[in-house]
Structure 1
Amino acid sequence: MKRHTARPLVFFFRLFSCSKLRSQKRAASFLSLLLFGVLLANSGAIAQSELPDFRQNAIPPETKPNTRPATGTPNQATLPATVQLKPLSPGQYVLEFNRSPVVGTRLQLRGIYDESRLRFTRPRSWETKSVKVSLRFRHSPALYATRSNLTVLVNGASVGSVPLNKPQGEIGNAIYDVPISLLQDYNEVVIAALQNNSPTCTQDPYDPSLWTEILPDSKIVFDLAPRPVTLDFSRYPFPLFDELSLSPNELAYLLPSAVDEAWLTAASRFQSSLGRLAQFRPIDTRLVKQVNELSPGERLVVIGTTQTQPILKSLKLPLKLQGDRWLDETQKPIADDVGVLMLTPSPDAKSLVLVATGNTPAAASKAVQFLLQSRDRQIGTGSVILVKDLADVPTPDPRDWPGYLPVENSFQLKDLLTQANEPFQDITTRGSDAPPIEIDFRALPDDRFLVGNVLNLRYSYGPQLNPLTSLLEVQLDGLPLAGRKLDAVDGVRNGTFRVDLPEDKIKPNSKLQIRFRLDPRERRSCNRAIDQQLWGTVHADTSFDLKRENMARLPDLKLLQVGYPFAAPQDLSQTAIALPQNPNPAELLLLLEVSERLGRLSKAESIKLNVYRADQLPAEVRKTHHLIALGERSRFPLPDALQSSGFNLETLFQRRRDGAAIRTLPDVEGVAKQVVSPWNSDRVFLALTGQSSTGIQQLQALFEQDALFYQLREDTVLISANDAAVQANSPDAYTLEFLQQTRQRTTLSEANWRDRLMQRVGGYWLLLVPGTILIALLMYGVGQAWLNRYPSQEKQ
């Protein structure tokens, strides 16, 4: 048995409620085993696992390949219910704590009682045999062994405790078996420490000698076996993409024989949709020319007709070909406007292949579009889908950004969404040291706040509080805004607290924190306070009254961190990407990374992003769309766009300082430059370029890695790689240099003129009445002066 350690990667995901009854689990396991046995008995099926860490353990079985009947009629016998790849031997998956941002290089528990929560997922392709939690720790020598211990809980159930009795400097080890029945799709490990430095009484709960450190090489060890994967679109994006995977999902696109607008647009939109589905989870994407280049467990996406993807003629697919035309289940040619989606194993039965095709390029694009539209793909099932009709999803309003503040200036807390995309309800927190209630308070990127923003907090709290030390505090991004003493002896029901929100502090990534600091009226010495009777509630009818107008100062790459302005509207219908006439693999990969990032930054029912080669970009699109142009300097698709703004690509890579000018050879930096579009002052142009393919690869890392992308600012960024010995996925592997080369200007208000007028007037409503009277008097005076001229002329 080989032991494989996963690559370093942030793996602890947000906690979701996903519990099931044991009886349901046993029934599902029994049905899965029964189905697996029947399939093995009926055909020379092959088993599959998608665990990349087991690839070296692959043992090819002696099985006969799947064959179709001579008639080729697709039916249940020719469409296998399970993708069975070559089975891999059982192995281990080691999940180290240092992959969690909560742990990092150290994790300390302090005070009389402290705990830390770590979360992990269970991939769908795993059949877990056993799970162990291996803790390595050290603690303060001042701890009293009989009254100090470390406890581990998994999904709320205790799996073991260990006394904190090690001599000074000695590292402790503890291994706990986790019952398989406790595991769920989303799991939580709680490490709790009870610490005392006296056999009778710990006087000071904040004594610095009360500490225990969990070492970052602590780990969770899984003994597991692969599980067959069902070929079925009803669980899409699985099995193409597993959102429960602990390792990056690996995806490959098969390059067509000729790259055209149909393939570029379809591949870009598909990658954007995966970015939306992945959210914060990483995806490893690459391009291949042959199916045999795939790695075991890698997923292959084939987009196009048989003319552009000749490999389709050699794959074992459930539908037959007659010449270059696809036939349906009745052996009749499929109509030219019908898209075809198929899931099938690769020829070596080690990878999964998704085919989006048709008898015309438009039909293949329609097949991809079906997977992009969430309402449509929910009705998909089976391993073959024929897309005949596809509903056109209306484009949302440019300022309709899900997850951000409503466009209305007055709204309530229940109008905002939690991290689980559900409306806020009344939120109650308990205990004297409860964490704050956190609310996403994300301003729209083009919001400019005026004076007079108010939060009317509706709250309640219970009795038995110490009125001298209990407090309600409101913070914005950690900055205290206001506080109120909780001094009612019998508690308060539906209290109101008015808080002024600073107009210059509300950002597109802001968070409101509401903290109840609750102290009991009586504290017992030498004992942990029993404080769960202390509670505070924030009510869903908490209201907000904002004063704002809509404008943005551009160019500014910092706004690109939230997708603005390219993600307005959120279906990306006002954004186009331009490539060189014959893009190379590095430029195509950059296209996919940019598309994926735009997908992560937007939410909509559809994706309408368009991609063009340089000579195919319509003049109308230049005028009406935000443009992203990418390519090497010598092949840059739209060089005139930068020259017209006073910026020349020829001088882009020169270095100037204090009158000195140099040019380095070779220049391997990548450059991202944003300017106002020369064809429309209300649109933005983003250039992504470099002197060579190396610079283009640096830009791929810029859009792929969050640690680099969320540093963007100014209007120009230069990115270069550091020492090659540094891991490529580390932020220390690259150096970023930011420049502001053009003057920002206020532009791009997406609101119509009526909304702008109302916003302007709404900000100065106290001046509206006297201003109206003054204007009326002036008009009356002008009118009288004009009328008085006529009598004087008649007398003459």
Structure 2
Amino acid sequence: MNPFRLFTWFAALLRSPLPAPRKIHLRLFLPIGLFLLTLICSLGWGWEHAVVHAQSPAADAPVTSPDAGIDKGPAPPQSSGEAAAKDPDVSDAAKKGGVVEPLAAGQYVLEFNRSPVVGNRLRLRSIYDETRLRFTRPRAWKPKSAKLQIRFRHSPALYATRSNLTAYVNGASVGSLPLNKKQGEIGSAIFDIPPDLIQDYNEVVLAALQNNSPTCTQDPFDPSLWTEILPDSKLVFNFQPQPIALNFSHYPFPIFDNLSLEPNQLAFLLPNAVDESWLTATTRFQTSLGRFAQYRPMNTRLLTAIDETKPNERLVIIGTPKTQPALAKLTLPLSLKEGQLRDEQQKVLPNDVGVVMLTTTADKRNPVLVATGNSPEGVAKAVQFLIQSRDRQLGTGQAIVVRQVNDVPPRPSREWAGYLPTASNFQLKDLTTFDNKPYEDMTVRGADAPVMEFDFRALPDDQFSTGNVLNLNYSYSPQVNPLTSLVEVQLDGLALTGKKLDSVTGGSHETLRVVLPEDRIKPNSKIRVRFQLDPRERRSCNRALDQQLWGTVHADTSFELNRTNVARLPDLKLLQFGFPFTAPQDLSKMAIVLPDAPTTNDLALLLEVSARLGRLSQSESVKLDVFQASKLPTQDRGNRHLIAIGTRDRFPLPEALRSEGFTIQEAFRRQRGQSQLQTLPDAEGLVKEIVSPWNRDRALLILSGQTKTGLDHVRDLLNRDFLFFQLREDTVLIDAGEPSPNPYDPNAYTLEFLQQAKQKQQISEMSLLSRILKTLRIGWFIIAPGFIIAALLLYAIAQSYLGRLHKKG
């Protein structure tokens, strides 16, 4: 409808004569109606134009397809490049280096025995039991089909028509089967899983209903009620890799995928000259990746050329265009001319400006992260942007110019995320879960309720005295059997105390006072609360009866702790928690020392150490420094905890190798006390902690060996959890029985632990006055009577002396 014709028609209508009674009202109504109709017509024309415009392809449309994540059913086979070519926006961005092209479609087999929950078998007991296995889906995988293959065996006492096994995936049932096999016979079943059920985080639940009677199973704890899931059961799914859009809003993806089913593969490109600025920036970046990884495996290696990159590897390039000339061979979002980075106006960026970019290799198969600048200062600023979460969260797009990064203020040395608060009195809600959320009220249900567990991790230098108390606040439901129902508290599996649930009407916010033994609270401790809930009236064959029973632990459960912070070093067991090198958590009081002109083995071990330090610490920033031997400042040598890396002949701090106890010397000689011997060859790695020769309040960690093979073994020790968490004493010798040991076989390595230090040094962050005041505050009930007794003794001695003087006078 044309609004101009409508306006002419209404104008003629206004000029026509109207009846007198209605003339005023209509002449008021018609202008208002004219305005409203004109507005509606204009809006309708604009809406139609907007719809037509939206249907045409836009030049700045997002890279991700609007159908991403929607399964449209089976598609005809296509090559890895065709998927991106069909979307004009994705292919357009790919030409500019903004998309990583997908690899060919594949199949992934996830066997149950990879989960530590399964081990050699997974057993289901009682009338009803279930077990849960969790797995992730890598971010760039789109499932095409999925199958769950179960191999099992069960008790021959099970009654087939009343016993079955059911599988659930993310809450949806995918199949069920009867438990009707003969004795010793192994059953097998395959369940199809709809691809749209597969999410980023997935859970497989296997539930068994087991009865040994055609009518009613009287004893739910009969040992004949069992079913075993064999460890060769597996989950198989076919997937189609998707194009990966390069955007810092998803960082650390695609450089690090926390949903990956395999170890993340990273490669660092070596610069043409290794200096301290590159060492420090690269080590800080690797530490931040370790914090992203946490418990997830990650493999790192060093490259001398970009074309050495393998499939599924992520390439990281850190350095200026002069130290990393390979940057000129990449398609970068910003211009690089004459060895200098330039902005959109082709002006040279200032030296104090950092640049971070995402691009791809020449074949567009591997994502590349570039942290660069026109000077080492700019490179350091770019890396610091990637490290600090408060700044990194602002990032988006494919390239970021970092002009200013705020310095994160230092945190107290004893403020560690995930550990106990430093206050003497705190509550359960002050502790955090594994995903850094505060604990809330927790409730369990049923007669066979699961145990409630929470971390109770003391700081590594915490020394507890008597008087540690847990005030457990709990509630429970009515209709419990007061004779057999109870609540129990355990510390690391040790039962501390229990209390009957003796009210048939239930309990609300009752308190149980539990004394915590001072010698049992460790940096990896866990407290478990178990409710044994039995119904007052037990009916046969009625499982639903016990679901009315519940127990709750409240978040205002409180703790009272008496402790001082004193650690005795050297002790490699404390290194399992990063102490003392991760105090404070930003690593500002430690440094790593390398030989002058470090080798590739030295650098590989440096990256592994920094990744492990990242796994063991949580902070807003990373402030550790890396020095070469000849450039280590005297002040840092005495004021920092040090980690020294290198073979014996190139060790950066040779005086440390002459410390007491076990030492490695020239010509493959070893010495321990007065004993000396020579070994040919000596391929063992050495991990040794000593008190720093330059400061008795600091520690020095030695990572060494006679050969580069020894350094590789030390690197394996730091990379593999099943080796690292065996550390103890103050000296460890590690060797492998074969040149390329199986990374998943704990028996492939030999560890020998030695205690060399004759006397340990006490290290504490508290001042002398603070120690005295805390001792007085904790031990007042002993010190006060002591003062009184001492005063009485002095009074008696003084009176006796005065009496003797009086007699002589």
TM-score under structure 2 normalisation? 0.86
- In the TM superposition, 1:98-497 aligns within 5 A as 98-497=113-512
- Report SS of the residue matched to 1:92: strand
Give a deviation string over 1:555-586, Cα, whole Å, max 9, x none.
Answer: 00000000000000000000100011011111
Cα deviation for residue 58 of structure 1 reads 11
- Structure 2: how far apart are the matches of 1:661 and 1:260? 38
Which residue number in structure 2 is paired with residue 790 of structure 1?
none
- Structure 2: how far apart are the matches of 1:86 and 1:181? 23
Cα deviation for residue 645 of structure 1 reads 4.9
Cα deviation for residue 126 of structure 1 reads 0.8
Q: Please tell me whether the aligned partners of residues 691 and 761 of structure 2 are also in contact (alpha carbons under 8 angstroms).
A: no
Give a deviation string over 1:180-204, Cα, whole Å, max 9, x none.
Answer: 3333211111100011111112232
- Structure 1: how far apart are the matches of 2:667 and 2:176? 62
Specify the code of the residue in structure 1 equivalent to 2:724.
F
Shifted more, 643-652 versus 483-492: the winner is: 643-652
Distance 1:87 1:425, change over 3 A: closer
- Report SS of the residue matched to 2:545: coil
Give a deviation string over 1:250-276, Cα, whole Å, max 9, x none.
Answer: 100001111110111111111110000
**Aligned pair partner of 1:747 in 738, 745, 762:** 762
Aligned length: 733
Cα deviation for residue 80 of structure 1 reads 6.9
* Aligned-residue CA RMSD (Å): 3.1
**Aligned pair partner of 1:704 in 714, 719, 725:** 719
Which residue number in structure 2 is paired with residue 594 of structure 1?
609
Q: Please tell me whether the aligned partners of residues 577 and 611 of structure 1 are also in contact (alpha carbons under 8 angstroms).
A: yes
Q: Please tell me whether the aligned partners of residues 523 and 529 of structure 1 are also in contact (alpha carbons under 8 angstroms).
A: no
Shifted more, 214-223 versus 585-594: the winner is: 214-223
Q: Please tell me whether the aligned partners of residues 297 and 352 of structure 1 are also in contact (alpha carbons under 8 angstroms).
A: no
Shifted more, 548-557 versus 519-528: the winner is: 519-528
Specify the code of the residue in structure 1 equivalent to 2:577.
V
Cα deviation for residue 85 of structure 1 reads 3.8
Which residue number in structure 1 is paired with residue 627 of structure 2?
612
- Structure 1: how far apart are the matches of 2:335 and 2:273? 23
- Structure 1: how far apart are the matches of 2:521 and 2:82? 64
- Report SS of the residue matched to 2:604: helix
Distance 1:775 1:249, change over 3 A: same
Shifted more, 649-658 versus 579-588: the winner is: 649-658
Which residue number in structure 1 is paired with residue 110 of structure 2?
95
- Report SS of the residue matched to 1:530: helix
Specify the code of the residue in structure 2 equivalent to 1:408.
A
- Structure 2: how far apart are the matches of 1:607 and 1:196? 58
Q: Which has the higher helix share?
A: 2
- Report SS of the residue matched to 1:305: coil
**Aligned pair partner of 1:572 in 569, 587, 596:** 587
Cα deviation for residue 322 of structure 1 reads 2.7
- Structure 1: how far apart are the matches of 2:338 and 2:741? 51
Distance 1:39 1:698, change over 3 A: farther
- Report SS of the residue matched to 2:369: strand
- Structure 2: how far apart are the matches of 1:235 and 1:675? 42
Which residue number in structure 1 is paired with residue 697 of structure 2?
682
Q: Please tell me whether the aligned partners of residues 272 and 597 of structure 1 are also in contact (alpha carbons under 8 angstroms).
A: yes
- Structure 2: how far apart are the matches of 1:565 and 1:330? 49
Q: Please tell me whether the aligned partners of residues 736 and 749 of structure 2 are also in contact (alpha carbons under 8 angstroms).
A: yes
Distance 1:253 1:784, change over 3 A: farther
Which residue number in structure 2 is paired with residue 692 of structure 1?
707
Distance 1:780 1:370, change over 3 A: farther
Which residue number in structure 2 is paired with residue 636 of structure 1?
651
Shifted more, 658-667 versus 76-85: the winner is: 76-85
Which residue number in structure 1 is paired with residue 535 of structure 2?
520
Cα deviation for residue 727 of structure 1 reads 1.3
- Report SS of the residue matched to 2:573: helix
- Structure 1: how far apart are the matches of 2:131 and 2:462? 37
Distance 1:657 1:549, change over 3 A: closer
Q: Please tell me whether the aligned partners of residues 664 and 671 of structure 2 are also in contact (alpha carbons under 8 angstroms).
A: no
Specify the code of the residue in structure 2 equivalent to 1:680.
N
Q: Any gaps of 5 or more consecutive residues in structure 2?
A: 1-53, 69-76, 86-90, 801-809
- Structure 1: how far apart are the matches of 2:388 and 2:512? 43
Cα deviation for residue 336 of structure 1 reads 0.5
Between the two proteins, what is the percent identity of the paired residues?
61
- Report SS of the residue matched to 1:532: helix
- Structure 1: how far apart are the matches of 2:759 and 2:78? 58
State the structure with more CA Rg.
Answer: 2
Specify the code of the residue in structure 2 equivalent to 1:216.
P
Cα deviation for residue 724 of structure 1 reads 4.5
TM-score under structure 1 normalisation? 0.87
Give a deviation string over 1:24-68, Cα, whole Å, max 9, x none.
Answer: xxxxxxxxxx99x9899999x9xx9xxxxxxxx996759999xxx
Q: Please tell me whether the aligned partners of residues 81 and 230 of structure 1 are also in contact (alpha carbons under 8 angstroms).
A: no
- Structure 2: how far apart are the matches of 1:410 and 1:768? 23
- Report SS of the residue matched to 1:225: strand
Give a deviation string over 1:224-250, Cα, whole Å, max 9, x none.
Answer: 111111111111111111101111111
- In the TM superposition, 1:48-63 aligns within 5 A as none
- Report SS of the residue matched to 2:547: coil
Specify the code of the residue in structure 1 equivalent to 2:494.
L
- Report SS of the residue matched to 1:589: helix
- Structure 2: how far apart are the matches of 1:348 and 1:577? 37
Shifted more, 418-427 versus 332-341: the winner is: 418-427
Q: Please tell me whether the aligned partners of residues 150 and 190 of structure 2 are also in contact (alpha carbons under 8 angstroms).
A: yes
Specify the code of the residue in structure 2 equivalent to 1:463.
P
- Structure 2: how far apart are the matches of 1:634 and 1:511? 45
Distance 1:653 1:466, change over 3 A: farther
Cα deviation for residue 429 of structure 1 reads 1.0
Give a deviation string over 1:709-748, Cα, whole Å, max 9, x none.
Answer: 0000000000000134751342221110000011242411
Distance 1:695 1:646, change over 3 A: closer
- Structure 1: how far apart are the matches of 2:569 and 2:62? 64
Cα deviation for residue 78 of structure 1 reads 7.7
- Structure 2: how far apart are the matches of 1:424 and 1:63? 45
